[in-house]
Amino acid sequence: MDMDIAHRDYLLATLHTFLGVATLLLCVLAELFIFAFRCRAALYLVPVAALLLFNRFRRRAAAATEDIGLVDFSCLKPPRRLRLPVAGLLEHLRLIGCFDDGSVEFMTKVIEASGMGNETYFPPSLHYIPPAATHADAIQEARMLFFPTLDDLFAKTGVPPSCVGALVVNCSGFCPAPSLAAIIASRYRMRADVRTFNLSGMGCAAGVVGVDVARRLLLTHAISYAVVVSAEIVTVGWYSGKDQGKLLLNCYFRTGCSAALVTSIRGGAATVPVKYRLASLTRTNQIANDRSYRSGYRDEDDEGITGFTLGQGVGRMVSELLRAHLVTLSLSILPWREKLRYALALLLSSRSRRRRLPGGDNKLARPAAPPLPDFREAADHFCLPSSGRPMIWRLGQGLGLGEREMEAALMTFHRFGNQSAASLWYQLAYLEAKGRVRAGDTVWQLGIGSGLKANSLVWERVAGHEDEGERELGPWKDCIHRYPVKET
């Protein structure tokens, strides 16, 4: 049945895309016909009006089936006793006895160049010498992350746990029995028919997958609310070997957790107002490509120590994935004027590539970089993968973004490090704490995970939550006034 639903959704999405392209071409041809035969000036408005009406019909049809709202979300600010400054971390790496001098020197260079600040957090188990990475320590970390975050979410929304019909928990590297979702459902005494899902192994893109699972449950079952929890249990993700390809996660990943309450706003199912409306959800993967599949994986090193490896050529594979993902995403979120401008730029670019070098040389000229659509026309705010300052800059510039658009990702990594799928919600909390998200604004959350997969959420801010007097600071309380910080 799930395959039938997915197949139907794919066919409907393809049909809508085809109808949109066909309508656009017909309108352009109609305009050219009117211009060529010098018809009455009023007729120029007919194709434009038809295009606008069709676009409005598509939006209303989509809204009828995709009315999903975000009531609110919460992000954990770990206790200060778990803070580990960069200098203290580097000294800790030398003292714990797991690493040789070459490994410590490698991690030191990566951390110092990453743009990470002095207030990131490690779980209690990794503050010990030597670190404690037992199953019991990982369970303790999970409870420490989940319960304060969900307590805050239920308190700020006023929705009790008994009203939650679906619970989706994503954590890439830790799958205990009972599951993490079961731990949460037991702690909050959720109802007997709550639908629980535990997602693992999906990396930083898992948060979008979790929202997609919750969305489908809300649309196909009589459920009013669903909770999506995103966290990474760093205790079991810690690598204590000497393989430099596996040491990167030690450098970037830190403790954090987010929880989001989503609801169906179709037919008045929700009884509390929503803060955001889901405008678009797009998922792309290249799992069938062997090079993409092996670009990031967990395995054992020569000494039998398990860690996560980033394969060779991962940057090239991510670029290919993003190109495919952005083509699909741009069809749904870019305004028509930007689509037309981008199509014209592509035509001009393809013509310029075919020009021959002067002097009768038959070789083609060096191809220029392909043009990109201006995604700032589609979204007002951006939440990007928190993979360190160099990677954030590279990704942002590849998308044509400026420093202000990348600020939320850069500052979140500086303050909290990489918290996997939860980082996207810390970035949204940063934007809210700065008071930048206004009614009608759109926020694009982009996650990239192992597989490879690229997933995007686009949220639209709903009117009624822009009161500056009650700006929500969330995990940025007591420090938002210090940001943005200047690079050193």
More confident residue, 77 or 47: 77
Query: What CATH number has the domain bearing residue 120?
Result: 3.40.47.10
> Looking at the predicted structure, is the pLDDT value of residue 181 above 80?
yes
* Claim to verify: residue 296 and residue 430 sit in the same structural domain: yes
Report the C-alpha gap between 296 and 314 in whole angstroms. Answer: 8
* Claim to verify: residue 400 and residue 265 sit in the same structural domain: no
* Claim to verify: residue 252 and residue 311 sit in the same structural domain: no
Q: Is residue 352 part of a domain?
A: no
Output the average pLDDT for the chain.
84
Name the range with the highest mean pLDDT among 350-359, 362-371, 373-382. 373-382
Q: CA gyration radius for the chain?
A: 24
Q: Is residue 422 part of a domain?
A: yes
> Looking at the predicted structure, is the pLDDT value of residue 5 above 70?
no
Q: Structure tokens of 118?
A: 């002095």
What pLDDT score was predicted for residue 329? Answer: 87
Q: Is residue 47 part of a domain?
A: no
> Given the structure tokens 């420490």, which residue do they identify?
144
Q: What is the dihedral of CA 150, 153, 156, 158, to 10 degrees?
A: -80
* Claim to verify: residue 307 and residue 409 sit in the same structural domain: yes
* Claim to verify: residue 264 and residue 130 sit in the same structural domain: yes
Last residue of a domain, one of 262, 277, 292: 277
> Looking at the predicted structure, is the pLDDT value of residue 468 above 50?
no
Q: Strand locations in 235-360, DSSP E?
A: 257-264, 276-285, 296-300, 306-310
What pLDDT score was predicted for residue 358? Answer: 53
Q: Is residue 4 part of a domain?
A: no
Q: Is residue 434 part of a domain?
A: yes
Q: Is residue 409 part of a domain?
A: yes
Q: Which among 408, 406, 371, 374 has a CA at the least distance from the CA of 392? A: 406
* Claim to verify: residue 267 and residue 288 sit in the same structural domain: no
Residues 87-98, mean pLDDT to the nearest whole number:
90
Q: Structure tokens of 439?
A: 């009614």
Q: Which structural domain, as residue segments, surrounds residue 419?
A: 280-343+370-482
DSSP symbols for 207-241: HHHHHHHHHHHHHHSS-SEEEEEEE--HHHH---S
What pLDDT score was predicted for residue 276? Answer: 95
What pLDDT score was predicted for residue 51? Answer: 63
Angle between helices 101-114 and 86-95 (to 10 degrees): 170
Last residue of a domain, one of 231, 257, 277: 277
Q: Is residue 219 part of a domain?
A: yes
What pLDDT score was predicted for residue 66? Answer: 55
The predicted-structure confidence for 374-427, as pLDDT tens digits, reads as follows 888 889 999 999 888 999 999 999 888 999 999 999 999 999 999 999 999 999
pTM, 2 dp? 0.83
Peptide bond preceding 123: is omega within 30 degrees of 0, i.e. cis? no
* Claim to verify: residue 450 and residue 332 sit in the same structural domain: yes
Q: Is residue 359 part of a domain?
A: no
* Claim to verify: residue 134 and residue 214 sit in the same structural domain: yes
Amino acid identity for residue 19 in this structure: L
* Claim to verify: residue 301 and residue 159 sit in the same structural domain: no
* Claim to verify: residue 394 and residue 264 sit in the same structural domain: no
* Claim to verify: residue 243 and residue 286 sit in the same structural domain: no
DSSP code for 284: E
Q: What is the dihedral of CA 428, 430, 432, 433, to 10 degrees?
A: 160
Non-local (6+) Cβ contacts of 250 within 8 A are 107, 238, 239
Domains in the chain, number: 2
The predicted-structure confidence for 24-71, as pLDDT tens digits, reads as follows 777 777 767 766 776 666 665 666 666 666 665 555 544 444 589 999
- Please, what is the Cα angle at 172 between 170 and 177, to 5 degrees? 75
